[in-house]
Amino acid sequence: MHEQLNEETKLMKKIKILLISFFFITIIDVVLFTVFQNHPLFIFKLNRSSENISAYGSYQLISYILYSTILLFFIGYILLLVTYIKERKNDETDYELVRKRYGFFDFFTVIPTFFLAMMIINGLFFSLAVVDGESMAPTYCSTDVVLISYLSGIERDDIIVFDKEDFLYIKRVVGLPGDTLVVNSSGVYINGDYIEDSFGNFFYDGTIEDGYYFVLGDNRDNSLDSRSDRVGLIKENELIGPVILDLTNRDCQID
């Protein structure tokens, strides 16, 4: 009898510690969830639309699954909290009910921790992106999946993802801040070095300002990039990050 009482006392203490710990973890989750809403590739973004992100359906499906599991966690938390408070006030504790509620909640305790880890990784370090369109062919084709790093520096020839007026693009960096870029009928020159043939009717002669990048799609004949007034030079604060890994890794041909 005494041994059973000790076990029950330990269980109630464990539940108390668990409830307090996950209360603070949940608060951190809510703060990060709110802060990262401005990030265009945040997996839990609420105001995402099919017009401003590719693979909209995939992102939404993942979000719905995670939201459902989070809801189950909150249900388990509330049930255990109510049970704990109620049973603490009773002279005779229904420990069988307490154990059941504890078991249900304990099954879902991995969720807020997993949610926290995902938000930190996705909000501060890396993100997946799905290529939409053929502007980067033959390097990437539509539906290819790439991994983006938020912290890596930008070098010439890097492929980057950037946000231009709430629309995401993936292009290759051709001109860096401070580069002298000349595009005329004889070709394209970076700092006096010939790079390639010219781009039809597009002409440029000047120095790229600090904090700006000149980008092009690899599929030159089918790309909306810095040659267009709609895109123009890319500001540093519009950069999301460079592609560091091609997760699809398939052959891609230009139609």
CA proximity to 49, closest of 29, 63, 67: 63
pLDDT classification of 110: cutoffs 50, 70, 90: confident
Q: What is the pLDDT of residue 48?
A: 60
185 is catalytic: no
Does 90 map to a domain?
yes
* Highest mean pLDDT pick, 82-91, 147-156, 244-253: 147-156
Domain match, 7 and 72 both: yes
Q: What is the pLDDT of residue 125?
A: 94
| 114 has a pLDDT exceeding 60 | yes
Task: List, in order, residues 6 or more apart from 253 with CB less than 8 Å away.
Answer: 137, 138, 141
Does 138 map to a domain?
no
Does 50 map to a domain?
yes
15 near 98, Cβ under 8 Å?
A: yes
pLDDT classification of 144: cutoffs 50, 70, 90: confident
Domain match, 13 and 96 both: yes
Q: What is the pLDDT of residue 4?
A: 54
Higher per-residue pLDDT: 103 or 156: 156
Domain match, 114 and 70 both: yes
Task: List, in order, residues 6 or more apart from 77 with CB less than 8 Å away.
Answer: 19, 22, 26, 105
Domain match, 105 and 158 both: no
Q: Which domain holds residue 209?
A: 152-244
Does 143 map to a domain?
no
Find the mean pLDDT for residues 11-20. Answer: 84
Give me the catalytic one of 54, 127, 135, 226.
135
Find the mean pLDDT for residues 23-27. Answer: 89
Query: Structurally, how many domains does the chain consist of?
Result: 2
Domain match, 157 and 70 both: no
User: Crossing angle, helix 95-108 and helix 56-89, to 10 degrees?
Assistant: 160
Give me the catalytic one of 45, 54, 127, 171.
171
Q: What is the pLDDT of residue 44?
A: 79
Does 74 map to a domain?
yes
CA proximity to 148, closest of 243, 63, 71, 213: 243
Domain match, 156 and 119 both: no
Domain match, 99 and 156 both: no
Does 187 map to a domain?
yes
Find the mean pLDDT for residues 129-153. Answer: 88
Q: What is the pLDDT of residue 92?
A: 65
152 is catalytic: no
Weakest-pLDDT range from 68-72, 151-155, 220-224: 68-72
Q: What is the pLDDT of residue 202?
A: 83
